[in-house]
Amino acid sequence: MGILSEAPLVLILCTGNSCRSHIAEGILRAAAGDALRVASAGSKPAGHVHPLAIKALAEIGIDISTHRSKHLSEFLTEKVETVITVCGNADQVCPMFPGQVNRHHWGFDDPAHATGTEEEQFAVFRRVRDEIARTFQAYAAGRLDEAKLNA
């Protein structure tokens, strides 16, 4: 069995699973490499990944164009080690998952609610992407350091 299949599963949740959770999933997957399995889902999935979220991550070299919007129930039978909610609504409705050890809530503005021209909306996506990147890259660095200590 390879390291990826044995790696702990981190599930990132938000309500719509169209922006923040996908941005966080892409960033955490890129930062953690094979040390973590990373997925995202929503309590009320929007049914799509927002095109500006895809564009914002492509701008920093991360491709989430094949991601799909998923309901958190798809993970109820998975051994989820860590749940991270990125919006208040998801934090309130989040169930416990089998094997769940950790739970974190790091709230971010929802860029899908941005108004104005597409460029003004994209500026909000960039800001939220950069906030998510700082948080999730630091989290990945901590997890990688912890893995080295326990190796």
Exposed / middle / buried, residue 107 (Cβ in 10 Å: 0-12, 13-18, 19+) = middle
- 13, 28, 87, 112: the catalytic one is 87
Token duo for residue 135: 């948080």
- 28, 83, 94, 140: the catalytic one is 94
Mark whether 19 is an active-site residue: no
The C-alpha atoms of residue 101 and residue 83 are separated, in whole angstroms, by: 8
Contact 44, 75 (CB under 8 A): no
Contact 48, 77 (CB under 8 A): no
Mark whether 94 is an active-site residue: yes
Token duo for residue 18: 């169209």
Q: Indicate the SS3 state at residue 41.
A: strand
Instruction: Name the residues annotated as catalytic.
Output: 14, 87, 94
